[in-house]
Structure 1
Amino acid sequence: MVSLLNRFASYLTVEKGLSRNTVESYCLDLKGFFEYIAKKTDFSQQPTNNFLQSFTRESIVNYMGELRDKGQSARTVCRFISSVKGFSKFLIIEKVISEDPTETIKTPKQWERLPKALNIDDIKKLLDYEPPTTGYQLFIRDSAMLELMYSSGLRVSEIISIKVNDLNFEGGFLRIMGKGAKERIVPINQRAIEKVRRYMHELRQGLLKNKQSPFVFLTSRGMPMTRQRFWQALKKIGDIVGLKLTPHTIRHSFATHLLEGGADLRSVQKMLGHSDISTTQIYTKVTGDRIRKVYLEHHPRAK
């Protein structure tokens, strides 16, 4: 379980872009739950390596009841629900479990977080940045990854998994294998095509060092790009241009800017690879906030 928890912490940091304090809080919530399971489970009858057999809806609900009985606040219980739901989804992604024991456990809507998006000026500042001619050898790669992520609304796990055969520059689209091994086709804009082409022509072969790899984006050692390396690249450019970035910030910006520009919700849902449109609908709340702000700032009778 310690190994799984460490991998989950890395996933929260890199894939979800959560702060160190939030990640630590989630992990503490889960450690408390695991200790509860350990006390309630007779491991003389159940091998320790089958610990996850006790990770059930019943054990989760019982632990929530124990938290309430100990006088924990509603906020603490809600945070635990978020922690255990996130952990369960992670286990499914990693194929450790096949069914989600938290699926029918509801989180109060007041605790849902709206995604944060960059404004268009900040996106331009980020993607148009050009470093000095020396000192940032991997910039061509990093810039191509960010441009492609914003162009097509990709998750980190998707962008690092792109293979050369997935790219269709002539058709202007990209084949993506998303969550649950679901394939989708997404468009690529011309700026992203140009940056990816430049990276492949000027840098990729040098990174391979006479080796072969099906993956488009590579580390400095010619290995497939990892979540951690992507996060480091994103943070480096963000620090240079003065923007606080997470991988989800770019994806959220993609969705928000499309909806603000008039795109319909169903099309955005398909491009993001959301199986449920309710997941996409959260962005309509963000654009609604922007509409209200514009109204209050510019309508002559709203002041």
Structure 2
Amino acid sequence: MHEMIDRFTSYLRIEKGLSFNTLQAYGNDLLKFQGYLEQRGISPLDASPEQMSAYVVHLSRKLGKRSVARNISAIRTFFRFLVTEGVIEANPARFLETPKLPRKLPDILSVDETSTLLEKPDSSTPLGLRDRALLELLYATGLRVSELLNLKPFHLHLEGGFLRTMGKGSKERAVPIGEKAIEAVKVYLAHGRASLAGRKGSPYLFLNSRGTGLSRQGFWKIIKRYGVAAGIRKDISPHKMRHSFASHLLEGGADLRSVQIMLGHADISTTQIYTHVARKHLSEVHKKHHPRS
């Protein structure tokens, strides 16, 4: 079973271009599924639809709906792969039903909160210059954190006002950059990055104090620290900045299709959730300023 899971995740990585985090989550979900069945003396390859349904009930007692839905997706996709590979004849997971998920509106920062956050880094130090460029570029582009941290200097086309990034499914896209972010990145490249790089010669744009590429955990700590410094009580994360980028664009009148392209969403329905946030904002503006609201 372990070997089949490794083959499955390799297939997803090569053929489907799924991210490392998704592959890791799917692999962990399948190992837990295997453990549950083997504790009951059942080989996963011999599991019946009824036994799989029992596992979903077991998960539902411990996990939220989104986690259960991801587990079901992993199991269904895995057994579909086994059928394709000729390991089994029929997919016993095909009847598993995904729980209906509530449509959760993304929590965002206001424009004022975002501006306060971006002003917090100390531009007199190399780390402060890095952090200013990091936050400005994140808010200017709405990149996923993995896309942002995997950037290398040659991905930047600052004179043209855009950058190139590799998104989900190994799809490259060009994303425009605003003037303030361009200026922050230029200053970082001129006066900050070389000091951090030392002799390491790391290819990544954003470096830590040891001269190697900044990690997701490192960036998470950075943005949390500046959130506290800015007096923002909301829980701040890199992904919340991505949500804010999209919502602020729509509030400012950007069309949905353009925001979809900038975010790298394959399906416009994924982007449409931000229209609900924009409508909520417009409703609040109307109530506050219309004389008969």
Bin of the TM-score, shorter chain as denominator length: 0.7 to 0.9
Partners of 1:132 and 1:164 lie apart in 2 by 20
- Unaligned 5+ segments in structure 2 are 7-19, 23-27, 79-92
Partners of 2:198 and 2:261 lie apart in 1 by 38
Q: State which of 198, 201, 226 in structure 1 corresponds to 2:215.
A: 226
Q: Is the 8 A contact 1:175 1:186 kept in 2?
A: yes
Corresponding residue of 1:255: 246
AA paired with 1:108? Answer: K
Q: Does 1:267 align with 2:258?
A: yes
State the 1:221 CA deviation.
0.9
Corresponding residue of 2:71: 84
State the 1:148 CA deviation.
0.1
What is the DSSP-based 3-state SS (H/G/I as helix, E as strand, rest coil) of the residue aligned with 2:192?
helix
- Unaligned 5+ segments in structure 1 are 5-9, 13-27, 44-53, 92-100
AA paired with 1:180? Answer: G
AA paired with 1:37? Answer: L
State the 1:238 CA deviation.
1.3
AA paired with 2:222? Answer: A
Q: Is the 8 A contact 1:30 1:80 kept in 2?
A: no
Corresponding residue of 1:37: 37
AA paired with 1:296? Answer: K
Map 1:150-229 → 2, pairs under 5 A: 150-229=139-218
Q: How many equivalent pairs are there? A: 257
Partners of 1:61 and 1:299 lie apart in 2 by 58
Corresponding residue of 2:25: none
Q: Per the alignment, do residues 55 and 184 of structure 1 end up closer, same or farther by CA in structure 2, a change over 3 Å counting?
A: farther
Q: Is the 8 A contact 2:120 2:229 kept in 1?
A: no
State the 1:164 CA deviation.
1.1
Partners of 1:261 and 1:154 lie apart in 2 by 19
State the 1:60 CA deviation.
9.1
Partners of 1:250 and 1:60 lie apart in 2 by 42
Corresponding residue of 1:119: 110
What is the DSSP-based 3-state SS (H/G/I as helix, E as strand, rest coil) of the residue aligned with 2:204?
coil
Q: Per the alignment, do residues 59 and 271 of structure 1 end up closer, same or farther by CA in structure 2, a change over 3 Å counting?
A: farther
Corresponding residue of 2:90: none
AA paired with 2:106? Answer: P
Corresponding residue of 1:47: none
Corresponding residue of 1:106: 98
CA distances 1:189-232 after superposition (whole Å, capped 9, x unpaired): 11111111111111211122123232111111111121111111
TM-score scaled by length of structure 2: 0.74
State the 1:292 CA deviation.
2.1
CA distances 1:269-294 after superposition (whole Å, capped 9, x unpaired): 00000001110011011112222222
Q: Per the alignment, do residues 200 and 137 of structure 1 end up closer, same or farther by CA in structure 2, a change over 3 Å counting?
A: closer
Corresponding residue of 1:21: none
State the 1:120 CA deviation.
0.5
RMSD over aligned CA atoms reads 3.9
Q: Per the alignment, do residues 271 and 299 of structure 1 end up closer, same or farther by CA in structure 2, a change over 3 Å counting?
A: same
CA distances 1:53-101 after superposition (whole Å, capped 9, x unpaired): x599x88985444554x7967x95625424526978xx9xxxxxxxxx8
State the 1:105 CA deviation.
4.8
CA distances 1:227-286 after superposition (whole Å, capped 9, x unpaired): 111111111211211223111110000000000111111100000000011100110111
Bigger RCO of structures 1 and 2 (CA < 8 A, at least 6 apart): 1
Q: State which of 272, 289, 292 in structure 2 corresponds to 1:298.
A: 289
CA distances 1:13-34 after superposition (whole Å, capped 9, x unpaired): xxxxxxxxxxxxxxx9988645
Q: Per the alignment, do residues 178 and 296 of structure 1 end up closer, same or farther by CA in structure 2, a change over 3 Å counting?
A: same
Q: Is the 8 A contact 2:126 2:195 kept in 1?
A: no
Partners of 1:175 and 1:71 lie apart in 2 by 40
Equivalent pairs: percent with the same residue? 42
Q: Per the alignment, do residues 61 and 235 of structure 1 end up closer, same or farther by CA in structure 2, a change over 3 Å counting?
A: farther
